[in-house]
Amino acid sequence: MTAAAATIASQIALVGNPNCGKTALFNTLTGSRQKVANYAGVTVERKEGRFTTDSGRLVRVLDLPGAYSFDATSPDEQITRDVCKGHHPEEPKPDLLVCVADATNLRLHLRFVLEVRQLGQPMLLALNMMDAAARRGIRIDVARLAAELGIPVVETVAVRRHGADALRAAIDGTPPPSPAVVPDLDLHAETRRLLRAAVQLPMQHAELEDAIDRVVLHPVFGLAILGAVMFLIFQAVFAWAAPLQDALAAGTASVGAWLAAALPDGPLQSLLTDGVFAGVGTVLEFLPQILLLFVFILTLEESGYLPRAAFLLDRLMFAAGLSGRSFIPLLSSFACAIPGIMATRSIQDPRDRIATILVAPLMTCSARLPVYTLLIGAFVPRREVAGLFNLQGLVLFGLYAAGIASALLVATIMKRWRRDRGEHALLLELPSYRWPHPRDLLIGLWERAAIFLRRVTTIILALTVLLWFLSSFPAAPAGAGGPAIDYSFAGRIGHWMEPLFAPIGFNWQICIALIPGIAAREVAVSSLATVYALAAGSDDAAISQLSGIVASEWSLATGLSLLVWYIYAPMCLSTFAVIRRETNGWKHVAIAAIYLFALAYAASLLTYQLTVWLT
């Protein structure tokens, strides 16, 4: 190494077109686990990581959102533009730009490489996806390309173990000089010249992909496939997870029972059995279901199918005041509305973006799954329908569908309200199909499990303990009749709220559970478990199944009403926080809170009164 090596850049940024593998490279370089998926607009925020080169220098790496051009049209592209040009308020201008290009899509990506080169900053080019390029028969003369571009070029395969070694070495080596800026360069003409000089393309386009697309994007078969995929997910989440879930439930119940027997009677026993085991244990049972949902979501994300679904649904969503681009943010909201709302940054049109943000909470997030499962398990018989479907799965599907239908309806009304006639842009890129890597899938699942367990052991546990405390103190006065919980803080609050919620069929136990449910929806379930465990008194020490209690204590009308309530319930503070951040103000938070609460109350009222009247 020469002395020049000591002055090498230590701040680098990964830039390039969307979906070229920047985040995959970032992960291989830094050992991070940022989200990688096969569609444009996965990364919507700058992410920071570090690694030490072979020569021992510490390099700070910035992963940026993908951009088609510095003429930014969406909030995520603006971040990339600002960082590269050194205009970002919190980010110094990077010392070295690592421009990433998809070797299978050079006609598009080289144009942006040239645009980056026109900044005149030290840069190098990483030709990523060389494995896919080789499979397609694309041959690239790397030395020639580097000479013509006037910048170093390395080959990478970001998803392979040592696939980024060449890049790592290049970053460690002598820093490249700033490239010459050519005045008035015609980027397209130059791209064509480079392609002619250094790239040999096969005559044929990827035939298999086109054949798949002919089926998947077919007006009739395409929609049928989309419907079948969605339906399969909900059937599977309900039917396949059940055995695992039952096993977990039995496990926590027996540990709880053992604990109850081992500990002396008293507040500690009650806290552990009625609070921790009844509450947290009940939520824990839903882990298999949530993981199964993610197996599907992660597979779909990596396959490249999601933008195709967006293509199929664009017209319908447009009629409802959204856009095909809203599809992926809304689908992510099935996991959790927070990443879903963040993902709207890739929507170019600000009106479409706001509309998507406002309806995202109507998508059934995975935190609502425990509530749904509990109530469906209690009130809907486990029965086969038409010898093929599971009735409980059908009801779950119906709840998800009701959320989606409501979102379309709300968006339509908002569109009428706005009365704008301006044009909305789509311009959506459809990526190549890819096989999901089992290893990445497992890592993704492990991560979801870790997030869920962290939630359970922190916020859910804390709220459960708090609720146990509020439901146990103050203790009933000596000689008082009725269950002790009636005299506690929580009991009083519940009784005090009851009149407001009586028209929609909620008893005071449900009212209590609604409050901690605002912080995290799953807590509604753990709270119910705690409240009922305490109300049952200490004689009933064995923790009975909440589902059984609910089935025997509540009327069908109450059960259905609570199910419907949770389709709309504006019950998650973090969602409101992220709406505030993404829209820069409280206005949309207020709109969302009010309309969601009004819808929840109205729909539950209707459900409850109708069911009472019919039964």
Partner 1 sequence: MKLSEVPRGGGGIVVGVEALGPNDQIARRLRDLGFVAGEAVSVLAFGPLGSEPVLVRVGDARFALRRAEAARVCLQEQSP
Ligand X SMILES: Nc1nc2c(ncn2[C@@H]2O[C@H](COP(=O)(O)OP(=O)(O)OP(=O)(O)O)[C@@H](O)[C@H]2O)c(=O)[nH]1
Binding residues (CB under 6 A) for ligand X: these are 18-24, 36-38, 40-43, 65-66, 128-129, 131-132, 157-159, 302, 434
Q: Which residue is nearest to ligand X (CB)?
A: 66
Q: What does 423 bind: partner 1, ligand X, Mg ion, none (CB cut-off 5 to 8 Å by kind)?
A: partner 1
- Residues 6 or more apart from 47 whose CB is under 8 A from it? 23, 26, 32, 34, 62, 63
Residues 278 and 528: their CA atoms lie apart, in Å, by 9
Helix spans in 201-349 (H)? 207-216, 221-239, 242-262, 267-270, 281-284, 287-303, 305-319, 327-332, 337-343
Least distance to partner 1, CB of residue 105, Å: 5
Place of tokens 């020490």: 541
- Residues 568 and 603: beta-carbon distance below 8 Å: yes
Residues 17 and 114: their CA atoms lie apart, in Å, by 12
Nearest CB to Mg ion, comparing residues 42 and 84? 42
Q: Which residues bind partner 1 (CB under 8 A)?
A: 68-69, 71, 73, 104-108, 111, 188, 192, 201, 205, 210, 213-214, 217-220, 222-223, 307, 310-312, 314-316, 318, 324, 423-430
Token code pair at residue 185: 């360069």
Q: What does 428 bind: partner 1, ligand X, Mg ion, none (CB cut-off 5 to 8 Å by kind)?
A: partner 1
Nearest CB to ligand X, comparing residues 425 and 577? 425
Q: What does 131 bind: ligand X, partner 1, Mg ion, none (CB cut-off 5 to 8 Å by kind)?
A: ligand X
Please classify residue 454 by burial: count the beta carbons closer than 10 Å to its beta carbon, then call 0-12 exposed, 13-18 middle and 19+ buried: exposed
**Closest Cα partner for 601 from 574, 564, 576?**
564
Q: What does 128 bind: Mg ion, ligand X, partner 1, none (CB cut-off 5 to 8 Å by kind)?
A: ligand X
Nearest CB to partner 1, comparing residues 127 and 338? 127
Least distance to partner 1, CB of residue 35, Å: 22
Nearest CB to ligand X, comparing residues 34 and 118? 34
**Closest Cα partner for 608 from 519, 514, 501?**
501
Nearest CB to ligand X, comparing residues 245 and 356? 356
DSSP 532-554: HHHHT-GGG-S---HHHHHHHHS
Q: At what angle are helices 587-614 and 350-359 packed, to 10 degrees? A: 40
Q: Which of residues 18-47 bind Mg ion (CB under 5 A)?
A: 22-23, 42-43
Nearest CB to partner 1, comparing residues 40 and 564? 40
Residues 142 and 548: their CA atoms lie apart, in Å, by 67
Nearest CB to Mg ion, comparing residues 270 and 346? 346
Stretch that binds Mg ion, among 17-25, 131-139, 270-278, 354-362 (CB under 5 A): 17-25
Least distance to partner 1, CB of residue 251, Å: 47
Q: What does 20 bind: partner 1, ligand X, Mg ion, none (CB cut-off 5 to 8 Å by kind)?
A: ligand X
- The residue ranges of DSSP E strands in 515-591, in sequence order, are none
Least distance to ligand X, CB of residue 135, Å: 8
Q: Which residues bind Mg ion (CB under 5 A)?
A: 22-23, 42-43
